[in-house]
Amino acid sequence: MRKVAVVGVGETKFSAAQEKTSVELFAEAAMEAITESNLKPKDVQALFLGNVLGDFSEGQGMVQVFAAENIGCRNIPANRYEGACASASMAVRDAFMWVASGFYDIVLAGGVERAAAMGTALATRTFAMSSDSRYEFPSGITFPALFAMLAHLYAARYGIPIDKLKEQMATVSVQSYHYGMFNPKAHLRKEVDVEAILKSFMVSTPLQLHDCCPFSDGAAALILASERAAKKLTNRPVYITGVGQASSGPLANQQDYLPRLQAREISSQQAYNMAGVKPKDIDVCELHDCFSIASLIAAEGLGFFEYGKSGEAWMKGEAAIGGKVAINPSGGLKSKGHPIGATGAGQVYEITKQLRGEVEPERQVDGAKIGMTDTLGGDGGTLVNMVLRCGW
């Protein structure tokens, strides 16, 4: 297998409902990545694109072929990936494998979504399509409801009084909002305190509005290149040194692990083993905080903190910049936003910028050498992890 580097990245602002089409959004992110890589569209050999809801948000299936043609990548193979919120990470992982295998030298990977444009009712319905439609949707399951059930289960399993857990979860949101304040590409840019969080609308007990990420519009794109190609294009390649992906079935059938998510534990072990690193080696991690409780579960599944102890870690600043591991300095899904088909590529964008030392000083993890991404789709149905490392 060959080494594979991220040589250029691009991202639109993540936002509330806006008027650009999915093709336009992705075109902007893609050209930023291609230009930053000192390449031209004709140099791109294949496109791997995450997109979940284009069929519903704009009646557009097969967005990948229109995106490829639109940016001048004529007639290249173009694949669409759908794994709910993990779609773009699946696309990046597959792109990685094709370059690693030697089949391609230069590929474009990323994702695009117009989730905000759909409005809350339709977005809630379509997000629920990633739960079991025949056996669990009849009960009225929604994306917040499933993480709400995990929150109650987490409190019961680890013997944490629910009020204490809610305070811990609020601390997670406070930190994410704080870093997002300094990220010009973030969707929600405001300081929010614990009191405001605990007063916000109750979406699905115990999760309140500020425990939940927003529906966002946005796109992100990366150019992946073989080591040889990368060395000609940049003196600051960021290598993808480990990848992992795993799946699980319906929520109730994950009974032996809940509130842990087995797919994450399998996927992250694959990524750690391949990269030859351990959780303690990770300087910065963008993890899947679709809900505040999801951050706690993720940080434990990735091995950063003991089971049931993540909330305390956040409260002690161990998940902040300067702590044990800097988690979500982009603002995470909570503040940066969650254009679901693009989210994973947005995480790789952030880690690449962090390792290059190119983000705003208020949220830069100084001297970061090794970063990680964690992207979850559905109710733990798909998990993708990546480890990235400075190549200079």
Partner 1 sequence: MEYKLAFKDYNEALKRNELLGLKCRECGTITVPPKMACRKCASLDMEVIKLMGKGKIQTFTTCNVASEGREDELPYIILLVELEEGAWIMGNLAGTDPTTASMELIGQKVRMAEGRVFPGDRYSAGEGTSPVFRIEA
Tell me how far apart the terminal alpha carbons of the chain are, to the nearest angstrom: 20
Q: Which of 102, 20, 90, 359 is nearest to 243 (CA)?
A: 90
Residue nearer to partner 1 on the CB measure, 211 or 283: 211
Do residues 363 and 321 make contact, with C-beta atoms less than 8 angstroms apart? Answer: yes
Residue nearer to partner 1 on the CB measure, 250 or 301: 250
Q: Which of 54, 53, 13 is nearest to 32 (CA)?
A: 13
Residue nearer to partner 1 on the CB measure, 159 or 322: 159
266 touching partner 1, by CB under 8 A = no
247 touching partner 1, by CB under 8 A = no
Residue of 85, 213, 285, 390 marked catalytic: 85
Cis amide linkage into residue 206, ω under 30° from 0: yes
Do residues 88 and 81 make contact, with C-beta atoms less than 8 angstroms apart? Answer: yes
Choose one: 34-42, 151-159, 228-236, 317-325; the region binding partner 1 (CB under 8 A). 151-159
Which residue from 87, 89, 183, 204 is in contact with partner 1, where contact means CB under 8 A? 204
288 is annotated as an active-site residue: no
319 touching partner 1, by CB under 8 A = no
Which residue from 19, 59, 75, 121 is in contact with partner 1, where contact means CB under 8 A? 121
59 touching partner 1, by CB under 8 A = no
Residue of 178, 213, 338, 390 marked catalytic: 338
Do residues 96 and 90 make contact, with C-beta atoms less than 8 angstroms apart? Answer: no
210 is annotated as an active-site residue: no
Residue nearer to partner 1 on the CB measure, 38 or 253: 253
Q: How far is the CB of 153 from partner 1 (least distance, A)?
A: 4
Class of residue 152 by CB neighbours under 10 A (exposed 0-12, middle 13-18, buried 19+): middle
Which residue from 137, 158, 257, 307 is in contact with partner 1, where contact means CB under 8 A? 137
In the 3-class helix/strand/coil scheme, how is 350-378 assigned residue by residue? HHHHHHHCCCCHHHCCCCCCEEEEEEEEC
- How many alpha carbons fall within 13 Å on the CB side of residue 358? 12
Do residues 53 and 46 make contact, with C-beta atoms less than 8 angstroms apart? Answer: no
Number of chain positions touching partner 1 (CB under 8 A): 43
Q: Contact positions toward partner 1, by CB under 8 A? A: 120-122, 124-125, 128-129, 132-142, 144-145, 148-153, 155-156, 162, 201-207, 249-253, 255, 258
Which residues have a catalytic role annotated?
85, 338
